[in-house]
Every structure is written in structure tokens, then in C-alpha cells.
């Protein structure tokens, strides 16, 4: 005989679970190799200009290297953002982590929630959001176009199945 706890756990078990992260083409090892080569080339050019007496040009090479390093640092910092979307029969839980590590949580009732997709014919999906009960939150804003299409298709299908009671 069941005491009802099996129904509760089955309703809370995620039907759909996705962790979204921004795509970056270089990993940590790739960044190390890139900056090792770039640093060596920058140092070599700085040495050539220093030895030829054009020391002010040497400072510009150093500034260029520092600007490049700063741009990559900001890019890698932005890659720490993530979103966790869990859809169960009774809840849509969206947990967002920004690059600084701060987390925000959004919960929606799947029967009242709407998954909104904004499209432009030439581009594809330009934005996605979940709304319901007077609240909304955007989802997957950092994803590439193909990833947005795949996520939108999978999430909308799972949400439709939950609303039908499957």
C-alpha cells in the first residue's frame, strides 16, 4: 500500500533538466598557449625596438598586450555565467548565476507559465523568456542561434507534455 510519498516524489522529479553555459572556443590550456606565444612575440618586438633606440614604440607593444589580456580576462569572466532550468510536473525552477557568482531563483507553476520565443525571420530566435502569474525572466540570452533553437524546441516540447499531464 502506498502512503502517497511516491506520488510526491514522482511529481517533483524533473521531466526536463538543462544547464546552460556560454560557449567559449578556447579552454584554459588554449589560453595559456595563446598568451605564451603572444607574450613571446610581444617581448621580441619590444626588444627589437628598444635596441634600435625607438623605446617609445616599445611601450605601445606592452600596452597592446595588456589590453589584449584584459579583453580575454573579461571574456573568461563572462563565461562563468550559467542557468539551470528544471521542469517537473509541479514546478519550473530557473536558477541563474551571474559572472560574479551571485545567484537568483525564479519559480513558476508549469500550468500557468508561458514560454515566449521572439523570432526575426532573417536571424532566428532573438530572445526567450518564461512568464506567468505577473512575473517573467529571460532564458538563454547568451546562447548561440543553433543552441537557442535546440533549447527552445526541447523545452517547449517538455512544457507541452507536462501541461497535457504526461
Total-model pTM: 0.74
Residue 102 shares a structural domain with residue 152: yes
**In 10 A of CB 85, how many CB atoms?**
22
Residue 62 shares a structural domain with residue 10: no
The residue segments making up the domain with residue 61 are: 28-78
pLDDT in tens, 63-105: 999 999 999 999 888 888 999 999 999 999 999 999 998 999 9
Q: Which of 78, 111, 142 is the last residue of a domain?
A: 78
pLDDT in tens, 12-36: 788 999 999 988 888 889 989 999 9
Residue 91 shares a structural domain with residue 16: yes
Cα 96 to Cα 56: distance, rounded to the nearest angstrom:
46
How many structural domains are present in the chain? 2
Amino acid at each position: 500500500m502506498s502512503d502517497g510519498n511516491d506520488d510526491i516524489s514522482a511529481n517533483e522529479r524533473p521531466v526536463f533538466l538543462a544547464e546552460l553555459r556560454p560557449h567559449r572556443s578556447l579552454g584554459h590550456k588554449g589560453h595559456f598557449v595563446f598568451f605564451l606565444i603572444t607574450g613571446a612575440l610581444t617581448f621580441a618586438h619590444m626588444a627589437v625596438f628598444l635596441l634600435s633606440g625607438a623605446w617609445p614604440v616599445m611601450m605601445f607593444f606592452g600596452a597592446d598586450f595588456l589590453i589584449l589580456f584584459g579583453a580575454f580576462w573579461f571574456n573568461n569572466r563572462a563565461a562563468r555565467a550559467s542557468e539551470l532550468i528544471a521542469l517537473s510536473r509541479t514546478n519550473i525552477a530557473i536558477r541563474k548565476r551571474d559572472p560574479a557568482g551571485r545567484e537568483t531563483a525564479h519559480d513558476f507553476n508549469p500550468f500557468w507559465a508561458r514560454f515566449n520565443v521572439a523570432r526575426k525571420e532573417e536571424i532566428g530566435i532573438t530572445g526567450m523568456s518564461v512568464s506567468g502569474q505577473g512575473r517573467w525572466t529571460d532564458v538563454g540570452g547568451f546562447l548561440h542561434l543553433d543552441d537557442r533553437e535546440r533549447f527552445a524546441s526541447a523545452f517547449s516540447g517538455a512544457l507541452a507534455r507536462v501541461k497535457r499531464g504526461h
